[in-house]
Structures are given as structure tokens and as C-alpha cells.
A and B are shown apart, each in its own frame.
Chain A
Amino acid sequence: MENNMIITTEKLTKRFPMGKTEFTALKGIDLKLGMGEFAGLIGPSGSGKTTLLNIVGSLDTPTEGKALVLNQSIGNLNAKQAARLRKEQLGFIFQSYNLLQVHTVFENVEFPLLLLKYSTTERKKMVMDALDWVGLTDKAKQKPSQLSGGECQRVAIARAMVKKPSLVLADEPTANLDAANSHNILQTMEKLNQELKTTFLFATHDEKVIGYLKRKIFLKDGMLDKDEIL
């Protein structure tokens, strides 16, 4: 991988149709993110941070420019290749957890492994390890509806981390949590970043999250405003 870069974007532009006109969400973003970074895209609503996160997560494609994620050009991937990239290399954490409600905590965390080639024994060990990282081994048999918001987000972190992905993308992960829970899950993610060397990229405007970031990438009106590395 070129200079240990996980993400490289060059003149990345994204436009959305808006009636008869177009809205430009990203305007020529140049960004490089290295392996093991704990970085965040910071900016107000409409600044383009979620759009950038979606393109990096191969859920969307650039209109212009280049986005290389783990050496794969997002714009050139077909649906199958994009799905494989997400399945094998990426982890997602969402604002509203997006847990599968009919499944137990164990099954939610196991889900990404079911799409990969792991045996039942391997899966069980990996899921229990992931639940151990987030301190939820005792909740394995419970359903998401039986958990608090903080616990749900910890399940989501375990689900994102269970396959030990190269990159975890977290979109406003603390938006629905109180301060105590926010710190709790941020500490968990910080610990996983240090122990597993997983790269984390957040999209946030939450001060609590910003306080934990090692790199702060400020976006404003779809453009890179400031890039602070601590």
C-alpha cells in the first residue's frame, strides 16, 4: 500500500441533482489518511462530512476526482467489488446504531462474519472477543430492544470491529448518547485504535468526540478548511 495510506482523495467532487439544478456537496477534496489514524471530519450540517464518509465507505461514488480506499478506486468499483470491500475491509458505526432488531446481540455482532469464511467455532470466539472489548459479554443473548442506547452503540462498535477491519467509519456515533455514554464508547474506540491499530474516521460536530481525535479535518461548504494533526 502506497506509503501506508488508507485513504487518498484527489480533487474529489460530489454533486447531487436538486430539481433542475445541482448541489455540490464536495468541492475538490484532497486528503490522505494513514494507517492507524484516529481522525475526524468536523463541520456543521451540510459541510459534506457524511458525503465524504459515504464515498470512502464505497456506499456512494464521486462525481469527479479520485478516491482511493485501501488502494481501490471507489469510482471504478462495480457493485460486487464495492460490497466485497465493505464486507472484508470496512466497519461502519452509525448515529442510530442500525442494529438488526430481531437478532440477539451475539447474532448482530456475528453478522459480518457470516458473510466471510469463518467456521462456527472461529465465529463464536471472535464474537465473544469483540463483546469483551466493549464489555458486553453478559448481554450476548439479549435483543437490542432490551439494551440502553449506550449499550446498543457498543454492540454496533463490536459489530464494526469483530472482523478486525482496516478502517472503521463512524457517522455521528455519539449523537444519540448522553455525555457519560459518549465518553464510554469513545474510550472504547480509542482503546481499540491503540490495541488493534485500526484506522478510525469519524464524521462529527460533537465536541466530546472532537476532544478524543488525534487528527481534526475541518470541512466547510464542501471544501477542506483546516487539517490539524495533534
Chain B
Amino acid sequence: MMTMDTSENVSVHTRQWTLQPESEYRFELDPNTTLAIKLVSGHAEIFGAELAEGKAYIFGQECKAAVFTWQGCTIEVTGHPSVEYLSDETPMSIYANVHLALEQMRVRALAAVDGSPIPEDEGDDAIGIDPPRVLVLGPENSGKTSVCKILTNYAVRAGQDWVPIYVNVDPSEGGWAVPGAVSAAPITAPIQTSTPAATLGSAATSAPNHVSSNALLPLSYWYGHAEMRRNPLLMDRLIRNLGENIRDRYENDAEGRCAGLIVDTPSSFAASSSSSNDHRLTMIKACVDAFQINVILVVGHEKLNVEMQRTYGNRMAVLKIAKSGGVVELDAAYRERVHKYQLHTYFYGHVMQPPPGLPSKAYVQGGEQTPDQTMHLSPLSASVNFGDIVIYRIGEETMAPSSALPIGAARVVSEMQPLVVEPAIGGSGLYNAILAILAPPNPDESERYDEEILDLPAVGFVAITALDIPNRRMTVLSPSPGSLIGRTAIVGSFEWQE
């Protein structure tokens, strides 16, 4: 059935794999190795993004992915993956059917905007004319993000100018920002896969890009922690903020609204440990409300599916879809390393070294043709006075002096209260910390309110790389030029060292 030609060379490890229709080649990489895959013939896609024939696509930073083919193909693989195998058991036909059903919702929504009648025999009256707004739930290692990517990429590939909004409310993933953020971004081109540091494509840089999913414009809020249970109230609020702004955007763009949105969630939304149960259901409800969800997809979790059917089944489509057999169990250490890759990539970019045997430079990284020219980034290290930036920590007991607390407040404060962090005090926790730089507050003083900083989106992230307490100065690594003076920042629990 499946054949494999091995043409091995002593130092260079290149082999060809022939894939039957509807099968996939799966691989996993060790740290510090890269892999190149070239489509020799046929058609193939990676998480829904089609490969161009004859281009060497490069993967690294412990990337785990699969090349799937609907029609059959031959690929040439160069490098040493730690695991590689072919599988013809994939849930892709299910995902494709889900996509088709979502497309029906999109075309109906657009027809309604255009004012075109939909012939009675061409569809189901029960569906209505709402574009798909999909919430994807699932336990850890069920491939939620892959499902979201495939559905998003298929929509983008339809040739209908769909620009779906991808919403990531998994703070441990980080998406286009850094881990700790929750964001939404309109997607105009298939999201490429090459490294877990940029699973969902990447935010815009000053460099030119061939694939617009490498130049995304996210709307991002800073949660600051990897785990949802750390501050569920804050999470709830940020989700609602995202939803509100997406609705505002849709109001300006009736056609764009038809492409719908897809929400990727953290696995904690599906975890059934009793301690976080309440939070979990609150979070799901927050998402359903904020994003006006009308489709819930539960990836490989029977119990959660039943639960969702019971809660939401009368209001919307709730369906369970199979998880891929290719998902890899990921441990905490791996996630930790990925956070590091992500933060490094945010500031410095990342250019992979091709595996031995690949002609230098003639490869594509994340869809970019000249990664060596466009994927190196130069952040800026600047020294600022302590007084130049006001840093807050949200709702935690901090080491701030009592004088920094609001009048009458005790040491134990509410989860949502912004507290000023004083860098001059030892143990401020700022050294090596990641800060979110917030958008400026409302210029109109009368419009301001106490907790406004909870509702301000982040414009970027900086790392404090040195604290000089005697001189009251700190060194801040900033992604690009621009003054930080007078800015407001929030610190979370993420730290990063080069």
C-alpha cells in the first residue's frame, strides 16, 4: 500500500515517501534539529495550508506536524526527525465536512448581506443566516489548535476572500503575541507551520512578508499567566473585551463578518477536575456570550460533549469530532521550552539552519522565501528611569509598600485590583519579567475610570533585563523603537532570560 524509497547518503539523510490518498506523514523533531520537506509530486497540505511543489519547507524548534494529502503525493524529506511514520487513519474527512457545513453558513450569511435570495431547495431553513462563530473545546493534547488552523486555512483557501477572525484565548499558547496574552487576529492567508514558536503565524514586523499570516495585526490583551485558574475573573473580563471589540469591528464590516470566527481555547476549559469546575463553565459561558458562539466543536471528549449538549444543545450546534491519532503528549518541560522559543522569536525573530544536505538559502521557512533577510529581528535595549513607566500587577498580593495601596485597602486585595509595582523595592519581581505595554488610556479625562487599565489592549511586550536600584534605572528590551516614557505596563508571572 504505502511504499518508501530510501536513498541514503552517508552524511545527508534524504528519503522519499509516497503517500496514498487521504494519508499523512507525521514527524516530531528533537531540540536543535531541523527538517526539510519538499513536495515532489501530487498535492499536499500541512494543517490545511497547501504546499507549493518543489519548495523545501523547513521545520525546527521541536516542531511536531503532519503532511496530509487528499489526492496522494510524493515528498522528499531531508534531516533526522526523532519520530516519523505514515498513517492512513486521520480525522481529516470529518474536519473537511465540518468545513463544508461552516461554508454553507458563510455563503448564506453573505447572500443575506448581498440581498440575494436563497432557493428553498438549496439548504436547510433551520440553519438561518448567521455566519459561523465556532468554539473549539477539548482536553490537553487533543489537537484543538490544529483543528482551528485547518478550519481557518480551509476558509481562507476557498477563494471567496473570507477573512475569518482567529481568536486565541489560551494564554499558555500566546498566539501572535507572547505567552500570557489572549488575542484575536483576522487571517487573510493560510497559516504556515514551521515552529511551535509561531504556531498561528506571526505578528507584523518591519520586514516585507510573502505570506500575510506572517504579518498579522492582532488585538491583544495581557492576562500574564499561563494557567486560567490563576485569575479567572480577569480572564473573563479580557474575553469579554475581545468579544466586544470584535463585534464593533463587525459592525463596520458587514461582509467581513460573514467569514465568522474560530475560538481556540485552553485545555483547562475541558478539564474535569472538581477544583476548577466552576471556573471552567464560567469561562465557556464567557466565550459563548462574548463571541456569540453558534457552533461548539468538542474534540475527542465524550463527557464534555454530553455536558455541552445539555447546556447549549438547544441553542446551537454542538458536536463531537474525533481527535487525530497523530497528537503528541506534551509535557510541562516542553511547554516551558516553547514559551522560551516564543519570547525569543517575538524579540529577535528566528532563522533556522537548514538540515545538512540542503542547498543553503534555497528553502522556505514559514512560507517566507528569504528568511535570512526578513526573519532576523533587532530589538532595542533602552535604559529608562523608574519613574518613566508605571507598572501594575493585577489583583495579587504584591510586595508593594502600604503607601502604594489604595487608601483603606488591606494587604489582601481583590483579584481585579491594579496595584502599582515599585521597582526600587527589593523583591518587586521585575527582574527578567515580561511586561505588557498598554495602549494609552482615554485622552478624555472624564471618560477614565479606576479599572481602565484592565480594558486597555497591549501594544507590545518588553522584558526587563537589568535593574539598577541605586540609580533608579532599568534596562528594557523592547521589540522596536518608540518611546516608553509615560507608558503604563502590566507585569504578570512570565519571566524570560536570554
- A and B: partners? no
Binding site for B on A (CB under 8 A): none
Residues of B within 8 A of A (CB): none
